[in-house]
Amino acid sequence: MAVFVLDKNKKPLMPCSEKRARLLLSRNRAVVHLMYPFTIRLKDRVGGDIQEVHLKLDPGAKTTGVALGLKSDMQLKALFLAHLEHRGFAISEALTQRRAFRRRRRNQLWYRPARFDNRTRKTGWLAPSIQHRVDSTLCWVKKLSKICSVAEIGLERVRFDTQKLSNPEISGVEYQQGTLLGYEVKEYLLYKHNHTCAYCSGASKDVRLEVEHVIPKSKGGTDSVKNLVTTCRSCNEAKGSLLLLDWKTSLKKSTLDLARAKGIASVLKGKWRGFRDTAAVNTTRNALLAEVLTFAKGDIAVYTGTGAMTKFNRHKQGIPKDHALDALCVGENLSLVLHWKKPILKIKCTGRGAYKRTRLDKYGFPRGYLMRQKAVNGFQTGDMVKAIVTKGKKQGTYLGRVAVRASGSFNIQGGNGLVQGIGHKYCNLIQRNSGYGFNLTKIALTNGDARKVA
């Protein structure tokens, strides 16, 4: 992975190799400017020759691929690859919880008027979980533009046909004729399951049939008819908000539970994953392009590519499917040169913490209180630290994101998992909390760790 270089005035120069960066640092000609992504700043140089660097993006619902490439003679040499992991629907769940807490408080304080009818939404409003994808991607476009001379930005702009994903044979007027054509929801489900419980097939002897979500709404399920079945009340209450696999694991060997296990297996065979991720990509495609164009202001060329073009380039070059490698294949047909021996950067959106200092139970009542201050011994939760423990059971070297405790005994989340109980005296600050967690991850190349595609 190339090392980013800034001049004395913090203006971007061309990235250099890791070997050259080590020499510059050892000879005291440069200092470390940023750890993630690793950037050095020269002490004795201002300006220099700059080549065209392309920034390419492969937006996704959960992960966005980011790639920087150096273009020369119809070839594109990979300089930087990264996976940007979004918070996604965790934001939606947090907002749902906050809404419940506010409702509980409003009911307790009966004189407090509701204000939700007073709020308005501006034109082009996106749901917070969707807007986050646009904002986090644009944030890294700006970050990389500050440490590298980006001349062009390529963006994969795909559009999914959800109807054709469900039924590849659909055409013409069939787009207007959905699954429920001629039926109501419950009538359709009763007909589909032969007026019996989809789980126990009548073994419970309960004749009251209800509509039930296969994937509970509390775990991301939707009201789509493909996520609904008819069940008896006893099965519905027994399943509760469990996922089918979790419920099946908890079943015993009674006659009723054996019948339920058989029904669960048949429902899982026709399990529908839904189009939530697809809808997120369709929603953000135009918003992200508009934000990138606004940022470029005509100084940086912006172009788009289709999913079909990306797939064609990837197959032509013989490159395996990966978010970062897909980003490298966005746009025009170029020969790619990959000399990749080391892991790529994994960037996880974590946020900068919470303002609330009170822990609540599931009903919204206080169950504990957090520290009034966020910093402990000069560290804050989210800082990247390196801990070298010289004695005791935790002896070793740990690198990762720290979670502070009032006792001074911290937790470190790194590539080797979570390590608890690391004393603050062993920790050395690497980078302050920026709202992102950093790690290294490997990508699988088809013929080994190093590959050249020409």
pLDDT over threshold 70, residue 447: no
Q: Give residue 411's pLDDT.
A: 93
Q: Report if pTM > 0.75.
A: yes
The model's confidence at residue 338, banded by pLDDT at 50, 70 and 90, is low
153 forms beta bridges with 55, 302
Residues 177-222 have pLDDT tens digits of 777 777 788 888 888 888 899 999 999 988 889 999 998 988 878 8
Three-class DSSP category at 379: strand
Count of Cβ atoms closer than 10 Å to residue 188 Cβ? 17
**Helices (DSSP H) in 180-306: which residue ranges?**
185-192, 233-239, 244-250, 255-269, 276-296
Q: Give residue 273's pLDDT.
A: 65
Q: Give residue 448's pLDDT.
A: 39
Structure-token match 């993006």, residue found: 57
Strand 75-85 and strand 344-349: the pairing is parallel
pLDDT over threshold 70, residue 106: yes
How far CA 421 is from CA of 381, 391, 437, in Å, comes to 14, 13, 20
The secondary structure of 38-101 as a DSSP string is TEEEESS--------EEEEEE--SSEEEEEEEEEETTEEEEEEEEEEE--TTHHHHHHHHHHHH
The model's confidence at residue 136, banded by pLDDT at 50, 70 and 90, is very high
Stronger pLDDT, 73 or 64, i.e. the higher one: 64
Q: Give residue 451's pLDDT.
A: 41
The model's confidence at residue 450, banded by pLDDT at 50, 70 and 90, is very low
The model's confidence at residue 58, banded by pLDDT at 50, 70 and 90, is very high
Stronger pLDDT, 448 or 161, i.e. the higher one: 161
The mean of the pLDDT values for the chain is 86
Q: Give residue 444's pLDDT.
A: 63
Q: Give residue 30's pLDDT.
A: 94
Rounded to whole angstroms, how far apart are CA atoms 264 and 190?
17
The model's confidence at residue 374, banded by pLDDT at 50, 70 and 90, is confident
In this prediction, residues 274-290 reach a mean pLDDT of 88
pLDDT over threshold 50, residue 160: yes
In this prediction, residues 300-311 reach a mean pLDDT of 89
In this prediction, residues 93-105 reach a mean pLDDT of 82
Give the burial class of 115: count Cβ atoms within 10 A of its Cβ; 0-12 exposed, 13-18 middle, 19 or more buried: exposed
Structure-token match 């998992």, residue found: 417
Q: What percent of the chain has pLDDT over 70?
A: 94
